[in-house]
Structure formats: C-alpha cells, structure tokens
Amino acid sequence: MSAYDPPLRDLEFILHDMLAVQESPIPGFADLDRDFTAAILGEAGRIARDVLAPLAATGDREGCRLENGVVRTPEGFKAAYDLIAAGGWIGLDLDPDYGGQGMPHVLNTAIGEMHAGANMALNMYWGLSHGAYNAIHAHGSDEQKRTYLPKLVAGEWSGTMNLTEPHCGTDLGLLRTRAEPRDDGSYALTGQKIFISAGEHDLSENIIHLVLARIPGGPSGVKGISLFIVPKFLVKPDGGLGERNALSCGKLEEKMGIHGNATCVMNYDGATGFLVGAAHDGLRAMFTMMNEARLSVGVQGLAQAAAAYQAAADYARERLQGRAVTGPANPDGPADPLIVHPDIRRALMDQRAFVEGGRAFILWAASLIDASARSGDADAEGLVSLLTPVIKGFLTDQGFASAVQAQQVFGGHGYTEDWPMSRFVRDARITMIYEGANGIQALDLVGRKLAQDGGRHAMAFFALVKDFIKANEADATLKAEFLDPLKAASKDLQAAATFFVETGMKNPDAALAGSTDFLHLFGHVCLGLMWARMARAALAGDEDFHRAKLATGRYYMARLLPATALHLARIRSGADPVMALPAEAF
Amino acid sequence: MSAYDPPLRDLEFILHDMLAVQESPIPGFADLDRDFTAAILGEAGRIARDVLAPLAATGDREGCRLENGVVRTPEGFKAAYDLIAAGGWIGLDLDPDYGGQGMPHVLNTAIGEMHAGANMALNMYWGLSHGAYNAIHAHGSDEQKRTYLPKLVAGEWSGTMNLTEPHCGTDLGLLRTRAEPRDDGSYALTGQKIFISAGEHDLSENIIHLVLARIPGGPSGVKGISLFIVPKFLVKPDGGLGERNALSCGKLEEKMGIHGNATCVMNYDGATGFLVGAAHDGLRAMFTMMNEARLSVGVQGLAQAAAAYQAAADYARERLQGRAVTGPANPDGPADPLIVHPDIRRALMDQRAFVEGGRAFILWAASLIDASARSGDADAEGLVSLLTPVIKGFLTDQGFASAVQAQQVFGGHGYTEDWPMSRFVRDARITMIYEGANGIQALDLVGRKLAQDGGRHAMAFFALVKDFIKANEADATLKAEFLDPLKAASKDLQAAATFFVETGMKNPDAALAGSTDFLHLFGHVCLGLMWARMARAALAGDEDFHRAKLATGRYYMARLLPATALHLARIRSGADPVMALPAEAF
C-alpha cells in the first residue's frame, strides 16, 4: 500500500482561514494568495503521493547497503531525489542570492509535512542539507557561502550534521574530535562521529559535513568546540570537485526504522576542514542547525501520525467486522465496517484531533519564524524560542503514540509488514530521540526557556491566550465549547509555572522532576489555542469540512485537553517521589 | 547484551509477604514454603538468564525460515526447547494424571514472567501448548486426553490455536473453514487460517492444531462453530506417529517483532480432524483457551516492561552524561551518570512503579485462579472473569508504553539493534493486539463483565477494596499515603460504572465510547490496591528492599494513580464527542 492522500484542504484552511497568511504584513506573504498556495501545495502533494510514497515500503525493506566504503540507497531513491532537486523544492524557502526561491518558511513547512509523511527516510536526505545550509548561511564567510550554498540549494551536493560521538550525545562538552590547525588556514580533523544521518550515500556528487571538533589548546567543555566544513570531496577554486577527503563511512547502524536513510559511523582521519565562524564558537552555530532541525523533527513526528491516521481511517471504513451495538449499519453485508464501533472511533478521533491541532501548531510556529526572519519581530523570535522544545517534544511523543493507535486499528494485520503501519511506528520512534531526546527538550523548556529574558516570552504566551479569549468570548458557542476549556487549561499551565518559580529556587530538582509533564501540559494548551482559533474560522464556514472541523475540535476540548489537570497534579507532587530512591536501589 | 536478571526477590516478596501463599488454605499451597519457591524460582530464573536470554537477540535477528514447507527456528532454539521440556517446565502446573507436576498456577505465572521476559518469541512455543492442553483437558474425550495430553505435557508435541482467517479476526461468526463429516467419525477440514503462532516449526515431533471450523448444515454465525483437533501427523492407535495430515504452512508473516516465533498461514486441504466436545459448541471451548491465553499475554506485556526497565536502570547508572543540577555527583569523572537527572529518574520510576505493581496484580489474579480451580471458589472465579480483560488490556498497553520509556533512556543507542531495547518494544507491541485486541478487552469488560451476574463481581471488587481500606486505616502512614488515594481512585471507578448504568440503557454507545478509559481506570485501581497491599507488607520489614518498595509505592500513588480522574472526565463526556462525525468525514 503506497497510497498517500495529501491533506491539501486542511493545509489551506490553516494557512488562509486560521492564519490568514494572505492578509499578513510580513514581507513575502502578500504572494500567498489562495490560488498560489493551492498550486504549490497541489504540486508538492502530487509528488508526495506519486513519487515519494510509492518508495517508502521498498525503502524500508531494502534499507541501505555499505560496500567497499560506498553506500547504496534503496532502489528509486536517486531518481526521486533528482526530481526533488530539479523541481527547486530543496531551496523553496532559501535565499535567492544562492539559487533559492525565497518563499516563506510557513509554505515550506506545509510541504515538509507531506514529504515527511509520504517517505520520511527519503525526505531526510534533503532536510539535512537545509540544516547545513542554514549554519553556513548564518555563520560562514562570504567565500564559504559562495562555494557551498548554491550547490546545496541545487541538491548537487548534500549536507550533514556531525555532533554525536560514541561516548557523548547530549553532553557535547565531552567531545574529543580534534582539529589541528595547518599553515594554510585549514584544519586536520581526526575522530569518530556516530549516528550521522545521510553521512554517506549515492544521491549527490558531494557531501558537505558540518563537524563539531576541538582545536587543541582551547577551553575544555562546550566552550572549546568549533564548527568545521569538511567536504567529502575538496572543492577546487573553480568550484569543481577535487581530491577525496580523508573521511569515510565505517559502518551503517542497524536501526528500528528509517531504514532507507543511511545512519553512518563517520571516521575522520586527518580530514581537511574549514572553520565556520570564530574558533571555539561552534556551539552557537550548532544551535542554528539544531533549532531548525528540532522544528523539522516536530513536523516529522506529526507527519507520521497524519499518514498513519489516513491509513487507519480508510481501513476502518472498509474492513467489515462485527455489528454496531445500536443495530446493523450494513445489513446487506456480512458485517459492519469497523468504524461503527465506538472504541474504534475513539481511537480515530484521538488521532485526528491531535493531527489537525498539531498541524495548525506547527504552521503557526513557522509563521512566527517568518515574522522573526522577515519582519525582525523580536517578540515572534522569543515565542518561537520558547515553543521550539514544545513542538519537538510534544509533537513527537504524541505523534508516536498516535501512530501506535493507528496501527492498533488494523489488529494483527497492523503488526505485519504487509501494511505500512509498523513502518510509521518504527519511523516515528526516532523523532522522540534525535536532535535532542525529548527529556532534553523538557529540560530546555523548564530550565532555560521558561525563565529566559525574565520570563518575558512565557508571559507573552499567556497574554496571547488571554487576549484571544477576551477578543472572542462574545460568541457564546465559541466561549462554552472552546474558550472556557482553554482558559482552564491555561490556568493549569500558569499554576505549574508558578509552582516551578516557588519551589525551583529552593530545590531545582522539583522543577526538573515535572519537566516532561510541563512540556506536555504546554503542548496541550498550545493545541487548545489552535483548536479555538480553528473553531473560530470554521464557524464562519458552512461546508461539511467546517462541521467536521468543529466536531473534531469539540473532541479535543472534551477528551484530550483535560489532561492538563493530571499533568499539574504530577508536577505539584514535586521532587520527593521522583528522587527518593538511592541510585543503587534501581 | 543478553543479561537478564531474574526478579527473584520481588517475586518472593509478592508471593510470601503480600499474598502469603504459604498460609493459604487452597489445596497445594501448603507446599509453597519459602525454601521451596526459592528453589523453583531460582532454577527457573537461572534458565531464563543463562539459556533463554542469550538466544533472544540472535532469534530476533535470524527469525524463522520457511523452506519447502519446513520451518527452521533460529539457532539454539531447539536445544533450549528440549532443556525446558526435559526439565518438566511445560507441565509445571498441569495435571499429574497426564505427566504434569500439579503445582499451583501462581508459581507457574511467576516463572512465566521470567521466561517471557528473557525471550518472548521462544517462550511462546510452549506457552501455546499450554493453551491447547487446557482446551483438550476441559472439553476433550477421555481417549483424546490420553492420546494428546501426555505428549503435550512432555513437550514431545506442541500445540496451536487456529482462529483467525484472512477476512475475520475478532468477528469469528464470519469464519469459513469447513469440516465435512466422514463415515469413520472424523472430519475433513478445508480452509485457510492466518496468524497461527508456532503453526509449523522444528522443535517438536508433532504439532497438535486446535482449529475452529464449521460443520455444513449447522447454524450460521458463532453458534455454528466447532472445535477440532487436527494433528500435523496423525496418531496411530499405539500412540506412534502415522501419516502426514493434509495441512501445510503456506507462508511465514513478516512482522514487526517476535521474529523468533513462526507466525504461519496454515492451509487445510481436507485435513483429518477430530471433533472436541459437542458439535457447534466450539466457541465455549475456544474461550477456555482464550482466557488462559489472555492472562499469559498480560504476563508477556508486563515481562517486556520488566526486562526493559532492568536494562534502562543499568544503563542509567553507568552511562556518564551531563552534570546533576544540584552539583556534581561524580566529581572525579568526566560527567555524572544519567541517573542523577530528575527526568531520567521520573522515567525509571514510572516504569518501576508500573512493573512492580503489575507483577503483584498478575500474581494475585493467578492465585484467584488457583482458588477457583482447586477450592471451587465461585467468587474467585467471578473476580478472575471480571479482571481478565483488565489484566490483558492494561498490562499490555502500559507494558508497551513502559518499554518505550525504557528505550528512551538509551537515547540514540536505544534505536539501534545493538541493544535489546528495540526488540523489547517491537515484541511488546503484539501483546496489545493478539488474543483479542485491547479494544475488544475493553468491550468485554464494559459490555459483558461489568454487568455479569447482575454486576455481582464488580460489586465484590468494590467491596474488597473497601474492606481492605477499612481493615487497615488505623495505620496512619498507610492511610495517608496509600489508603486515601486508593479510596479516591476507587470512587472514580464507581462513578464511571454508575455513569455507564445510567446512560448505557438509553445509549449503549455512551458506555462503549468510554470503554478503553474504563479499562485503564480499572487497571489503575487494581495497581493502587496492589501497592496498598505491598506497602502494608513492606512496613513490616526494615531492609533496603522494603524502603525501596515503599518509595516506589508512594510514587505510584502520587504520580500515576491520579490518572483515574482524567479517565473519569473522558468517560463522562459520553458518546457525543466520539460519535459526532459521520463515517464519510473520516
């Protein structure tokens, strides 16, 4: 089964009816009229359905192979990659100075959901180029930009991020890869990196590795880390490919999922690298890559849930099994479709309400990134900074759980590899881990972002919720069904933040013990806000689409949003239950 | 990594301190003194650790192969199976008249957790024999018992359950496999069965298939289903193996997990079968198999969580990454162990509190089965009937989620197949599906068991909780930390049951829309009761073990049990949010 049905109607509703991008003063948004976005999204959706999705099952089954240092991607991946590159999709939202199309990030994000939903392992290859592009664009020299960016944008070359080493993942202060300065200004890099997605493959002519390493004599810990460009093939002055650099893929990891993406152990044996930005300032540049990557990973988690939901809903409408408890719905058939059963619907509504709310959340955040990047809106930038760990952590935890629910609808068939459900679950699983495991996202949120700039961004978020409620509470339907539950949930979130402020000073463990609960509490409030905004937009329409939107929103408010109270109760139980056991008792 | 550390201390605590099996009047329990159970569990644990666990990773990697109709199990499985059979482990709790050892089911259940935790795919082969044994023992003729049971008990032959067909899983009324009567009293079975675990393999001389089929002319639907014994090799009058029966394995399923177990498509082409019990009465016999199987699947779900927790706790104590927020815990090392981080502890405590509570739950239920089977205790039988869907559904949903949390502790390493974490997750996933998907368990609980015998069993459960609270509330510590939260949770459960009674009459969808929430609410109250009982026992001890037990119990009461309020809120939202969308809108 390779069917993937691009969620065009829903994307367009969110962009135009909820976010009203066409009316935004953000530079470039004026181009986003309904016809334009429909054309772009339609074409991107067609590629997702007809080109990427049909390769997902075979890519998962075949995986990648390493033979004599060369990595072969699954059958068909190269042709699809070339089509994506030739169509200009890699640079859709990138700088026209380097060959990009300069469109808003919000549009690229909508496309990203479709491409990751259709084939996550394949989509990752150019997703990583995007991250490498951003780091060089933000921190590289003019020469580095001229040398590398146009090729990355065109897809002729691809990019990677090299952070993790065998003994250090989260704790980058421990990293050991050495970068010895040479007389010509370049560096010789020596060390081993692991878990390098797209570290070696046959899709592009060259691979531009961005590598974190230590220049000898620098400070220890994270303050002594520098960022380097380390190309697979060195680039000649005329831009052509020169000699092979001293780096190689030592091994492909055997993984639970994303088999079509090559996860490499990369060995650097005195490889030539070029410093990006200032020495010992690599962490800042890395965060440029990481922040974008974290949002993309949130999109991936959501995308697996969205694709899995589609498959589950189709199956539930078609598979005949049992009879409705209220009387046969399909009296002429041997049984009723699964979808008549309340518990199957409950599972589908859980998924649908999460997926549509999460889709709105991610597109709203993408529009804030545009506001920050294109209008210099510092408030938007602060808000995105606050929301980044929520997007990454909440959308991937819930996206995985949602894909598991979708798989469950298929019964035993969902456990076989004849259907795509196992793949959605196995692929979604990595999104909770990479680019900062979700526990790190929770730590970032509670330990850093919440109090950042004196708590200004958090207060701005609360004000935004409050203002929305105030501006719309004259609508009695909206108030009773959406705004009142949102207000209660937001109150839970504020109470949790207050608890952290009050207890965290005395005992930082008390805040951190509740960090994952806080992340989920925050995520629910965000989706509650999205549902309130979508409901307002849907109340202005009268198509079946709008009625379905309202019914789904009511489900979220009635059945999912009340989780905030449980998270608050857990948070308030503080550090003691969590920290009571001595380490040796585990 | 094949290390598996059998949880002997905890099993002994539950059996002797919480359940006090040695003081029970149930026939056979007097043998269960501490020395005896320690010897049996110790030996079973040694086999789990030294024989079964080392084969788990290779079994997962190799899987089973079908070549010319013959299924080859992974390297080492045959030797391990033979060792289990020779040791008498298959018949530990089976009838001595047929070669069993006649020990209590509760002891066999404790062993089952260790063997399923060490290697679920391998353990399933003899687990299925147990189910086939029970169906023949309960419903077969004396001749059938004499012919088949001793061989099943000895492991010379193994058993299977053949229910599912391509178009029908849950809805057995649709099944089509035909059984044509022959003149000699046997039947000719023709049809295809799918998802047959251990349907064909090289571990035993013969395979005894228990097959549901339809005798032509019988009633349609589930009332026309009969149960047949269909041996792979027909048995000669002297008990030796005769000719090969007309059945074969057509295909092995490619699955997400349990790769070491052969999941077969079985084709019956006029195969000779023998009716078990009365014609058209197969469903009753099938439920004998299913009920036992459902409890075993609950054990499997718990076992994966338990084994995954062990691995995660070990990793968290050893892996150095980051520093404790309250100051370095390992100042001489490059970093602190993961276990200093509050969110890692939160994840470990979630797992530990579930695993230990779930272990107590399953052993309590097993002791009720013994009370029913050995003492003819009808109340115990009714309670087990009520609790069976809770054990199956709650322990497998939560067991899977717990294994996912354990995998998360490993970061990126947990996603690779170099560690056992992916396997625990992939294996645990099937437990939510087979022997009745968990939605069916919830339907069974709410639609059948709750109101069974006028709600007598449910009322007995509530009385049991109430009596325990009343009998122990003089202990102020127990009351504040355990009994009061249990009382609140039990009140939520009763409120949910009352809601179903009040609304279910008018609208059965209202009860069924909340069925999965009710199952989880019920599961939490059961684990709350278990923790209160374990806390009472632990308060009588003063070793580190007892202090750890109390700390873990407090965690459950403070952080996990409060989920009952959320489940009640969801249940009370009724059918409308769940059923509002028309089927075509999905």
Q: What is the DSSP string of A177-210?
A: -EEEE-TTS-EEEEEEEEEEETSS-SSSSEEEEE
Is the same domain home to A186 and A134? no
Determine the Cα–Cα distance for residues A14 and B586; give it in Å rounded to an integer: 18
**What's B330's DSSP letter?**
S
pLDDT of residue B286: 80
CB contact A297 to B (< 8 Å): no
Is the same domain home to B115 and B183? no
pLDDT at A291 over 60: yes
Task: Write out pLDDT tens, residues A94-107.
Answer: 999 999 999 999 99
- Domain presence at residue B402: no
Three-state secondary-structure class, residue A421: helix
Is the same domain home to A126 and A177? no
Determine the Cα–Cα distance for residues A367 and A580; give it in Å rounded to an integer: 44
**B416 CA: distance to closest CA in chain A (Å):** 4
Is the same domain home to B166 and B75? no
Is the same domain home to B70 and B42? yes
Residue A190's domain spans which residues? 159-281
| Contact yes or no for B415 and A430 at CB 8 A | yes
- Domain presence at residue A49: yes
Q: What is the mean pLDDT of residues B380-389?
A: 96
Nearest residue of chain A to residue B322 (CA atoms): A171
pLDDT of residue A531: 98
The pair of three-digit structure tokens given for residue B119, joined into one six-digit string = 């290697």
Task: Mutation target for A interface from B220, B254, B343, B413: give the one with most A CBs within 10 A.
Answer: B343
In this structure, the dihedral spanned by the alpha carbons of residues A425, A202, A108 and A12, taken in order and rounded to 10 degrees, is -60
pLDDT of residue B249: 98
| Contact yes or no for A256 and B415 at CB 8 A | yes
Task: Write out pLDDT tens, residues A481-515.
Answer: 999 999 999 999 999 999 999 998 889 999 999 99
Contacts of B500 in chain A (CB under 8 A): none
Q: What is the mean pLDDT of residues A458-479?
A: 97
Residue type, B346: R
Nearest residue of chain A to residue B329 (CA atoms): A583
Task: Write out pLDDT tens, residues A10-46.
Answer: 999 999 999 999 999 999 999 999 999 999 999 999 9
pLDDT at A1 over 60: no
pLDDT of residue B49: 98
Residue B287's pLDDT band, with cuts at 50, 70 and 90, is confident
Determine the Cα–Cα distance for residues B388 and A299; give it in Å rounded to an integer: 39
Determine the Cα–Cα distance for residues A276 and A229; give it in Å rounded to an integer: 7
Which H helix or E strand runs over A431?
Answer: helix A421-431
Q: What is the mean pLDDT of residues B380-384?
A: 96
pLDDT of residue A518: 98
Phi, psi of B544 (to 5 degrees): -55, -35
pLDDT at A2 over 80: no
**B508 CA: distance to closest CA in chain A (Å):** 7
- Domain presence at residue A115: yes
Q: Which of B258, B281, B304 is the last residue in one of the domains?
A: B281
Is the same domain home to B118 and B216? no
DSSP per position, A103-140:
--HHHHHHHHHHHHHH-HHHHHHHHHHHHHHHHHHHHS
pLDDT of residue B505: 83
Contacts of B418 in chain A (CB under 8 A): 253-254
Which H helix or E strand runs over B243?
Answer: strand B241-244
**A144 CA: distance to closest CA in chain B (Å):** 31
Is the same domain home to B32 and B107? yes
Could you give the residue numbers annotated as active site of A?
435
Its pTM stands at 0.98
**What's B204's DSSP letter?**
S
Asked whether the beta carbons of A371 and A309 are under 8 A apart, the reply is no
pLDDT of residue A146: 98
Is the same domain home to B166 and B134? no
Please, is A482 exposed, middle or buried when counting C-beta atoms within 10 Å of its C-beta (0-12, 13-18, 19+)? Answer: buried
| Residues within 8 A of B (CB atoms), A 477-506 only | none
Name the residue with tokens 């368990």.
Answer: B441
- Domain presence at residue A26: yes
pLDDT of residue B577: 96
| Contact yes or no for A343 and B577 at CB 8 A | no
Beta-carbon count within 10 A of A160 CB: 26
- What total number of domains does chain A contain? 3
| Contact yes or no for A583 and B339 at CB 8 A | yes
Contacts of A434 in chain B (CB under 8 A): 412
**What's A162's DSSP letter?**
E
% of chain B residues with pLDDT over 90: 95
CB contact B382 to A (< 8 Å): no
Task: Write out pLDDT tens, residues A294-352.
Answer: 999 999 999 999 999 999 999 999 999 999 999 999 999 999 999 999 999 999 999 99
pLDDT at B125 over 80: yes
Name the residue with tokens 């259940």.
Answer: B109
Contacts of B429 in chain A (CB under 8 A): 404, 407, 415, 425
Is the same domain home to B73 and B193? no
| Residues within 8 A of A (CB atoms), B 402-421 only | 404, 407-408, 411-418
- Domain presence at residue B39: yes
Is the same domain home to B463 and B495? yes
Task: Write out pLDDT tens, residues A515-536.
Answer: 999 999 999 999 999 999 999 9
**What's B364's DSSP letter?**
H
Which CATH number covers residue B59? 1.10.540.10
% of chain B residues with pLDDT over 70: 100
Q: Provide the sign of the torsion angle of the four alpha carbons A346, B350, B429, B286, taken in this order.
A: negative
pLDDT at A183 over 90: yes
Interface size between A and B, measured as CB pairs under 8 A = 260
Please report, for residues A168, A192, A202, A271, B179, the alpha-carbon distance to residue A178 in angstroms, rounded to integers and kept in the order given.
Answer: 15, 10, 28, 10, 73
Asked whether the beta carbons of A304 and A403 are under 8 A apart, the reply is yes
Q: Which residues, at least 6 apart from A7, have a Cβ–Cβ distance to it below 8 Å?
A: A113, A114, A306, A310, A359
| Contact yes or no for B342 and A515 at CB 8 A | yes
Could you give the residue numbers annotated as active site of B?
435
Q: Provide the sign of the torsion angle of the four alpha carbons A468, A470, A471, A473, taken in this order.
A: positive
| Contact yes or no for B342 and A575 at CB 8 A | yes
Nearest residue of chain A to residue B220 (CA atoms): A334
Residue B3's pLDDT band, with cuts at 50, 70 and 90, is confident
Task: Write out pLDDT tens, residues A226-268.
Answer: 999 999 999 999 999 999 999 999 999 999 999 999 999 999 9
Task: Mutation target for A interface from B346, B355, B521: give the one with most A CBs within 10 A.
Answer: B346
Q: Which of A253, A281, A309 is the last residue in one of the domains?
A: A281
Task: Write out pLDDT tens, residues B431-463.
Answer: 999 999 999 999 999 999 999 999 999 999 999
Q: How far is CA A490 from its chain centroid?
A: 24
Nearest by CB to A169, from B174, B321, B512: name it.
B321
Which CATH number covers residue A200? 2.40.110.20
Asked whether the beta carbons of A442 and A466 are under 8 A apart, the reply is no
Q: What is the mean pLDDT of residues B166-182?
A: 92
Determine the Cα–Cα distance for residues A262 and A268; give it in Å rounded to an integer: 17
- Domain presence at residue A340: no
Closest Cα to residue A534, out of A472, A470, A460?
A472
| Contact yes or no for B345 and A581 at CB 8 A | yes
Nearest residue of chain B to residue A351 (CA atoms): B586
Contacts of A554 in chain B (CB under 8 A): 577, 580
Is the same domain home to B132 and B13? yes
| Residues within 8 A of A (CB atoms), B 209-248 only | none
Nearest by CB to B325, from A415, A434, A512: name it.
A512
- Domain presence at residue B227: yes
Q: Which of A85, A108, A139 is the last residue in one of the domains?
A: A139
**B57 CA: distance to closest CA in chain A (Å):** 13
Across all residues in chain A, what is the average pLDDT? 96
Is the same domain home to B134 and B177? no
CB contact B563 to A (< 8 Å): yes
Q: Provide the sign of the torsion angle of the four alpha carbons B362, B364, B368, B371, taken in this order.
A: positive
Determine the Cα–Cα distance for residues B267 and A458; give it in Å rounded to an integer: 63
Please state the three-class secondary structure of A283-321 as a single string: HHHHHHHHHHHHHHHHHHHHHHHHHHHHHHHHHHHHCEC
- Domain presence at residue A67: yes
% of chain A residues with pLDDT over 70: 100
**A148 CA: distance to closest CA in chain B (Å):** 29
Across all residues in chain B, what is the average pLDDT? 96
Angle at B450 between CA B300 and CA B298, to 5 degrees: 0
Phi, psi of B233 (to 5 degrees): -110, 130
**A285 CA: distance to closest CA in chain B (Å):** 21
Asked whether the beta carbons of B531 and B482 are under 8 A apart, the reply is yes
